[in-house]
Amino acid sequence: MPSSAEGSRSQQDQRQKPGESLDSNPCHPIACKIQGCLERTGFNQAKCEHLIDDLYRCCAKFYQERGPQAEADSCPLLSVVQRRLKQMEKEGKNVGRNGGELIQGKMVG
């Protein structure tokens, strides 16, 4: 019988793409926090909004560092991230340096 550490590792492996490590999917821990928050709050998205914003900031950094063609299961498409960051900016939320550059179309990669 597998230990709980082995069991959680196999669940983690199922969520990742073959050959993909958590290092290549840096926003994965935030996505897991969102899922936990949603479960704890009866799927009340408003109570987890701060984590959702953090995920979009993380994904902005991910795309800035790896380019517009990068992929990670934890991040929506680049166009979705850009749209969300623009909305966050309109709401007066901090989008971070990477988010600001992404909104303006400045890509490193």
Nearest-angstrom CA–CA distance, 25 and 46: 25
CATH number of 22-103: 1.10.287
- The total of other beta-carbon atoms located within 10 Å of residue 73's CB is 12
Domain locations along the chain: 22-103
What pLDDT digit, counting tens, does each position of 49-108 carry?
A: 999 999 999 999 999 999 999 999 999 999 999 999 999 999 999 888 777 777 776 665
Measured in whole angstroms, how far is the alpha carbon of residue 35 from the centre of its chain?
Answer: 12
Is this model's pTM higher than 0.85 or not?
no
Quick one: which H or E segment has residue 56?
helix 49-66
- Amino acid type, 44: N
What is the rounded CA–CA span in Å between residue 8 and residue 107?
A: 36
